[in-house]
Structure 1
Amino acid sequence: MKISTKGRYGLTIMMELAVRYGEGPTSLKSIAEKHGLSEHYLEQLVAPLRNAGLVKSVRGAYGGYVLSEPPEDVTAGRVIRLLEGPISPVDFTEEDDPAKRDLWIRIRDSIASVLDSTTLAGLISYKDDEGQAAPSYMFYI
């Protein structure tokens, strides 16, 4: 299974909204410019996020998008499944060899476990083994 740009960029949108949670709406244009992405493509990705109730749109001159739920309540798994569909490394059937089928199921379940235990709050507060924050979310005062 390979996560496409839909899932990766959708997660980028959600992380940017999580960073600004409680501060008001964020425009897709600002997210696109910050990450060097197509604003038009982000518009296509935000529609299913809005339809699923994960984000709300705010109209007006200072409009944009906001998270509908706190960042600690939204998992990467919800976002990825919404944009990518079911999580499965391979398509398998009941006729497959039981040992291989068991392997695919364990891989699928392991991926799902990681995605479902990773929240937006965790992603935006990520620190590496040396305690350094992710470069794109580092702030200077």
Structure 2
Amino acid sequence: MKISTKGRYGLTIMIELAKRYGEGPISLKSIAQTNNLPEHYLEQLISPLRNAGLVKSVRGAYGGYILADEPSKITAGDVIRVLEGPLQVVEELEDEEPAKRELWMRIRDAVKEVLDSTTLEDLASHTDDHGDAYMFYI
């Protein structure tokens, strides 16, 4: 399973919103500048996140985006599924021999467990001794 830039950048948006939860709306321009990401691409990613009910948009001069729920209630799995689709290690799992099918299912379930047990709150507050945010690889 490979998480594309859609999933990675979408998770970055959500982590930034979680870091500033309760401070009011955050613009995509601000998130793009902070993380050195293309604003235009983030604009494409925010729509499915909004349609899935994970973020809300706020219009106006001081508008932007806010999380639709508390960071502790939104998981990395919620975000990844919206942007990447269902979690799948290999395609056509039913065509595999039983031993390999079992392995692929166990890997899928382990990845699902990590994504579904890691909240935005966890990711937003996770820093190392130097104050830099950890990079999570799955």
Per the TM superposition, whether the score is higher than 0.5 is: yes
- Alignment map for 1:120-131 (pairs within 5 Å): 120-128=120-128
Where does residue 10 of structure 2 map in the other structure? Answer: 10
Q: How many angstroms apart in 2 are the aligned matches of 1:59 and 1:70? A: 20
Change (3 A) 1:125 1:133: farther
Q: How many angstroms apart in 1 are the aligned matches of 2:131 and 2:96? A: 42
Q: RMSD in angstroms over aligned alpha carbons?
A: 1.4
Where does residue 37 of structure 1 map in the other structure? Answer: 37
Q: Which amino acid aligns with 1:61?
A: A
Q: Deviations over 1:17-41 (max 9, x none)?
A: 0011111000000000111111110
Cα distance, 1:125 vs. partner?
1.2
Q: Which amino acid aligns with 1:15?
A: I
Q: Which amino acid aligns with 1:52?
A: A
Query: Does the alignment pair 1:77 with 2:77?
Result: yes
**TM-score of the superposed pair, with normalisation by structure 2:** 0.92
Instruction: Check the 8 A contact 2:11/2:76 in 1, yes or no.
Output: yes
- Alignment map for 1:54-65 (pairs within 5 Å): 54-65=54-65
Q: Which amino acid aligns with 1:62?
A: Y
Instruction: Check the 8 A contact 2:19/2:125 in 1, yes or no.
Output: no
Change (3 A) 1:133 1:122: farther
SS in structure 2 of the partner of residue 94 of structure 1: helix
Cα distance, 1:70 vs. partner?
0.1
Question: Paired residues, what number?
Answer: 134
Structure 2: 5+ residue runs without aligned partners? none
Percent of matched pairs sharing the same residue: 67
Q: Which amino acid aligns with 1:27?
A: S
Structure 1: 5+ residue runs without aligned partners? none
Change (3 A) 1:120 1:10: same
